[in-house]
Amino acid sequence: MKRKIYLNMQSREEARSLFLSRFHDSLTGEEDVPSREAAGRITAEPVRARLSSPSFHSAAMDGLAVDAKDTFGAADDNPVTLDISSGQAVMINTGRPLPPEKNAVIMIENVLLDKNETRGTIRAPVYPWQHVRKMGEDIVATELLFPSHHKITPPDMAALLTAGCPTVRVRKKPRVTIIPTGSELVDLQPAGDPPPAGTIIESNSAVLAGLTEQAGALATVTPIIVDDFAHIKKNLLQAVRSEADLIVLNAGSSAGSADYTVQVIEELGEVLVHGVTIMPGKPTILGIIEGKPVMGNPGYPVSAIISFEQFALPLLARMQGMEQETVPLLSAVLARDIPSRGGIEEFRRMITGRINDHFVTVPLKKGAGAITTLTRANSILRIQASSEGETKNSKIKIEPLRPLAVLEKTILCTGSHDLCLDVLHDFLKKSTPAYPLASTHVGSLGGIMAIKNNMTHLAGSHLLDPETGGYNTSYLKRYLPERAVTLITLVYRRQGLMIQKGNPKNIRTIDDLVQKKLRFINRQAGSGTRVLLDYELKKNDLDADEIRGYDYEEYTHMAVAVAVLSGKADAGLGIMAAARALDLDFIPITEERYDLIIPTEFLDLPMIRQVVEIIGSKNFKAVVERLGGYSTRGTGKIVNAG
């Protein structure tokens, strides 16, 4: 098959408008469902009450049911006594039917009863229908309860039942068939075993099915289809001729030699769009086969999700007579520059939290395959196609992905990476109240600068001072001379060379990086680990230019460990806990102190008090010790207070 190159890419708005316009009358059918099971369903026709509620006049308070005119004239200097024994007044409880010829209720606390409760004295009158729920006060038979295309909520179900509607007519749920394609894809085994070399665990279909169900639709996921034109064509045609309302082929939408989706759709029907000016999500295909909408969804996880959100979800809403809900945007200060390609609308996942009287937002790493940005992000930024990016400290508009209350409680942690931050995050989420800890890894010096610019609540740092052998304090004096900060020890940890299991290169010391011409993976400039490496190189009279890979950088200890595990590098400097997590061998070099830097003004914030309390607890220390390579002998100790 010939490659299909994107020659006529369209903007997101143009592509969506064209796609939806071809299915303007695509409403699903109708069905009756029990009202008790109708939450989340969309009404297909107006719903009218069959019964009134209340269906009789009833007491709204405990007290005496009376004819209001019998109470007129009652006052402090003119008390009125009502005869209960003769029926002039009737004792009544809330919700009970009002006796005939009674039209008001006197609250029991406003009645002075005699010993036998046969007479009651009052000192104030009541007016007709006071403290009475009149028949039909809430619902009147035949009145409109809900219009067509109304989404039924749990309280709505109570209204339906109260109004005598045992069933309700709703739109049928749209049916979506998701077809994962790719010869390299395999299903995850029940035991969670690693997939065979050269294969990838198929997970996009689970995400798309979940999004489908959140949209009120039904998802069917087919078995994985290999990259074969005839096979894809056969399965796609079978899905089109099924009861599906929308068919999504996941992967194969790009311009590779084995990407057949666009040719298949073109042969069976019509391609409306191939290529949209968004990133991620550019390879999106939108088409029609036998009158049914068909999507060619990109294979990278982030691309797949954004494409589905932008094109499938609006269509699923329209099929149910709804419009996709819009989320109010939030104003935030951008913590770092974000360059972007002009002519492409870019979606960037962000971490956002409140600092003082404004929100601060930090970009997560980009990449169509970076699925962790989807799980960690609590907000999203859209950079317009006409822009070449956003600049640090500018005020931008972001779309929250979590409730505003969650963003308000989010603790921003910027700086050096450490596995103990994940432990802290888990403890914070289990605490009452719960506080999310959102970490971004920019190195120790980057964390200090974030503190300086008031872009974070706290920062992790382990910067070695080569002159004194101490950690962090000299850097605070140098970079934060006018900022009051408190330095609290989180852990002592072992740093060393992470090497492949069994030490096939027979590595013994840091000198071997040069002597044995090893492939090395480094940490980024400004990180504490990079400072430590340079210190050790100088101490051992080694030249960084002689190290293969000195300029190849990663931003976390786990990323370095993965590079070693995969064979990309023979060695990398990092913490013992990361090596242990991936079952690598480890050659210790030194023990260092890893601290949390906290602006002193934040120490009284409830969220920061919770952080300090947790890291000082026995339970936290016990979990950290079990990771290996850590000592908690100083955990929670204040090194210096500014």
pTM of this prediction exceeds 0.75 = yes
Query: Are 185 and 204 part of one and the same domain?
Result: yes
Length of the chain: 642
Query: Are 100 and 147 part of one and the same domain?
Result: no
Query: Are 205 and 309 part of one and the same domain?
Result: yes
What pLDDT does residue 1 have? 47
Q: Indicate if the pLDDT at residue 253 is higher than 80.
A: no
Question: Residue 444: enclosing H or E segment and its boundaries?
Answer: helix 444-452
pLDDT above 90 as % of the chain? 85
In a domain, 2, yes or no: no
DSSP 151-199: BPPHHHHHHHHHTT-SEEEEEPPPEEEEEEB-TTEEPPPTT-PPPPTT-
In a domain, 416, yes or no: no
CA distance 103 to 67: 5
Q: 477 burial class (0-12, 13-18, 19+ CB within 10 angstroms)?
A: exposed
Query: Are 342 and 242 part of one and the same domain?
Result: no
pLDDT above 70 as % of the chain? 97
Query: Are 473 and 594 part of one and the same domain?
Result: yes
Domain count, the chain: 5
What pLDDT does residue 640 have? 79
Query: Are 88 and 215 part of one and the same domain?
Result: no
Rounded average pLDDT over 77-89: 95
CATH number at 76 reads 2.170.190.11
In the chain, count H helices and then E strands. 18, 38
What pLDDT does residue 197 have? 86
CATH number at 34 reads 3.90.105.10
Confidence of residue 198 (pLDDT cuts 50, 70, 90): confident
Query: Are 539 and 597 part of one and the same domain?
Result: yes
In a domain, 431, yes or no: no
Cα angle 558-561-564, degrees, rounded to a multiple of 5: 155
In a domain, 412, yes or no: no
What pLDDT does residue 621 have? 97
Question: Residue 430: enclosing H or E segment and its boundaries?
Answer: helix 420-430
In a domain, 437, yes or no: no
Query: Are 342 and 393 part of one and the same domain?
Result: yes
Residues 6+ apart with CB under 8 A from 375: none
Among 84, 118, 133, the domain-final residue is 133
Confidence of residue 63 (pLDDT cuts 50, 70, 90): very high
Confidence of residue 64 (pLDDT cuts 50, 70, 90): very high
Among 319, 344, 367, the domain-final residue is 319
What pLDDT does residue 368 have? 58
CATH number at 233 reads 3.40.980.10
Cα angle 354-356-360, degrees, rounded to a multiple of 5: 40
Six-digit token string for 14:
């143009």
Q: Are strands 630-631 and 485-499 parallel, antiparallel or unpaired?
A: antiparallel
Query: Are 456 and 600 part of one and the same domain?
Result: yes
CATH number at 334 reads 2.40.340.10
Residue scoring higher pLDDT (375 or 607): 607
Phi then psi for 502, rounded to 5 degrees?
85, -5
Confidence of residue 258 (pLDDT cuts 50, 70, 90): low
In a domain, 439, yes or no: no
What pLDDT does residue 251 have? 81
pLDDT tens for each residue of 281-301: 999 999 999 999 999 999 889
CA distance 398 to 361: 8
pLDDT tens for each residue of 563-598: 999 999 999 999 999 999 999 999 999 999 999 999
**b (16+ CB within 10 A) / e for 44-66:** beebebebbbbeebbbbbbbbbb
CA distance 180 to 302: 15
3-state secondary structure of 274: strand
Query: Are 37 and 95 part of one and the same domain?
Result: no
In a domain, 436, yes or no: no
CATH number at 605 reads 3.40.190.290
Query: Are 198 and 340 part of one and the same domain?
Result: no
Domain that holds residue 392: 329-403
Rounded average pLDDT over 83-101: 95
Confidence of residue 7 (pLDDT cuts 50, 70, 90): low
What pLDDT does residue 277 have? 93
Residues 6+ apart with CB under 8 A from 459: 413, 414, 415, 416, 444, 447, 448, 450, 451, 596, 597
**For residue 84, which of 122, 118, 121 has the smallest C-alpha distance?**
118
Q: Indicate if the pLDDT at residue 550 is higher than 50.
A: yes
Query: Are 215 and 301 part of one and the same domain?
Result: yes
3-state secondary structure of 583: coil
In a domain, 557, yes or no: yes
Phi-psi region of 335 (alpha: psi -120 to 50; beta: other; left: phi over 0): alpha
